[in-house]
Chain A
Amino acid sequence: MSVLLDARNLVKHLGGRRVVDGVDLACESSQIVGLLGPNGAGKTTTLRMLYGFLHPDEGRIQVNGVELGRDLVRAKRSIGVCTQDDTFDGDFTVEQNLTIAATYFRPRPTDLARRVGELLDRFELGPYAGQKPETLSGGYRRRLMIARALVHRPRLLFLDEPTTGLDPQARMGVWDLVDGLRAEGLGIILTTHYMDEAERLSDALTVLAHGRVVARGTAKTVLGDLVGEHVVVVEAGQGAAVAAWLTAQGRGEPASVLGAWHVPVSGEELAEFARAFPALRYEVRGPTLDDLFMKLSLTP
């Protein structure tokens, strides 16, 4: 497996604020790296630096062996970008969108007509080839955005929240396509707010909070490091004693969802909790990335 992205110590200030603070990120071929974090964590700014929209104030980025800061144009030849918002060209049809996108790359993609045909087939856009993109459903718009990002055969693909706003069926369709791209050797950087999506698709996760990497590794490792082994779910209404116990443990108020507290605990803490509250009704479940997000959101 070859290293397609190697970013070191990225720093970016925006509006006088240190938005990204020493982020490292790497991605190899046939790998999907999930970039996660709550709103304001610095994901979008990091991503925008990685695909050459923004210049980092410090640090360096190598894409497919090419230093982004030294030869942006050459580095961008290896990159495909699917932005969070639809940015297709509304003046052109679906098919023309793919063709016109290819004109923005040198060397030009070879055998373009065949490449466009391949993408139309693969992304099931063939029946809509002659239509304007705005007439497509949300799922097919996303397909067009990803297809367009691939027209020049990049090696590294950035997917910024690719399934936001899609119905479950359309989301799963996009997952299949992304999984197929990984199998073909593409390196993929994925940002998403859907935790199931990150868990299912990503080979490795990098979690950002306040502009810094707070965890990296597989979903299991990240959750173990940042959340805990188990999550105790207890109704907040039963909570005075539990609140006192949490305070005694040196913890603040846990995340609250629909009137229930979700308390991340280690194995030892779970045993202690069970001893402390033998008569309490509660549920114990495994931690999810949702717990991680809630924890990070509550961390000042």
Chain B
Amino acid sequence: MTWLVAALEWQSRAVVARHLSVYMRNWYTAFLPPAFEPVTMLLAFGVGLGGYVATLTWQGRPVEYMSYVAPGLLAYATFMTAIFQSLFAAFIRMRYQRTWEGQLTTQVALPHVVWGEVLWAGLLSTMYVVIVSAVLTGLHAAGFLHIKVVLLPVLLPVVFVAACGFAALGLCFTAIVPTIDHMNLPVFLLVLPMGLLSSTYFPLEHPVLVALNVVNPLHHLAQAFRGILLGGPIAGPLTGVLILSALLLGILVPLDLRLLRRRVLGD
């Protein structure tokens, strides 16, 4: 279980601190996507699609479409931030910038590099969700949607855990794809289907999709956020998020390490 202990060691924190330092230097460019993405999405889905679907039924009660979409947007931001950070940014650091190799010549070992990437993706997703939450709070204040904004901070620990799980999934592909062009495969075959068919932007009632979503942590995340922000069942979806995230971390981090040991160290 040394791979697990590495998550708590100072070297992993040093790697996270390095990534945070880079992010903070470019904060103005890093801040814009999470600030504008929800506005764009709410315009597209909320105002655009919502014009046709003013309300829909969720948990047996009518919900404004804009209010339905808002928690989904937070879940989607969690997922996409973590996945893209662990797919593209981590791949660039590993392959092109050779940042990992530089770190590995120090007291940092491969488990710390991997946990550093996972924890950084968790932290970045949490920061993104904070920014998206601020935008949603503004839209709530302006009367465009109605959610329990006071409970938004409650989501943050869940965002962090779920994002770490998603990052472990992303790193698997980082470990095996030969070039950055091959990232299209996981993006189109896994990330987009997983992202869009997960009740983030619209409810899914087809029995096949419902069955598939039992193992989709993003679906449980969106439902848990909806339960918290709109008032609905929380325990079931939250348990789903925590169990699936723990499984992703428990199974995929050791696998990531095994695959990356071969790829990065040649061992």
Contacts and interface: CB of A to CB of B under 8 A. Distances in A.
B98 A86 contact: yes
Interface residues of A, number: 30
A104 B22 contact: no
B40 interface: no
A104 B11 contact: yes
B107 A14 contact: no
A72 B11 contact: no
Chain B contact residues: over half helix, strand or loop, or mixed? helix
A87 B101 contact: yes
B99 interface: yes
Contacts of B25: 91
B6 to A, nearest CB: 11
B29 interface: no
Contacts of B104: 53
A13 B19 CA distance: 35
Interface residues of B, number: 23
Given A14-B266, A89-B99, A91-B97, A83 B105 contact: yes
Nearest to B105: A81
A170 to B, nearest CB: 21
A52 B265 CA distance: 10
A101 interface: yes
Contacts of B97: 89-91
B265 A53 contact: yes
Contact of B17 (A73, A89, A103, A105): A103
Given A54-B265, A89-B97, A90-B97, A105 B107 contact: yes
Contact of B102 (A52, A88, A103, A152): A88
Interface of B: 10-11, 14, 17-18, 21-22, 25, 97-99, 101-109, 265-267
Interface of A: 14, 48, 51-55, 72-73, 76-77, 81, 83, 85-92, 100-101, 103-106, 148-149, 152
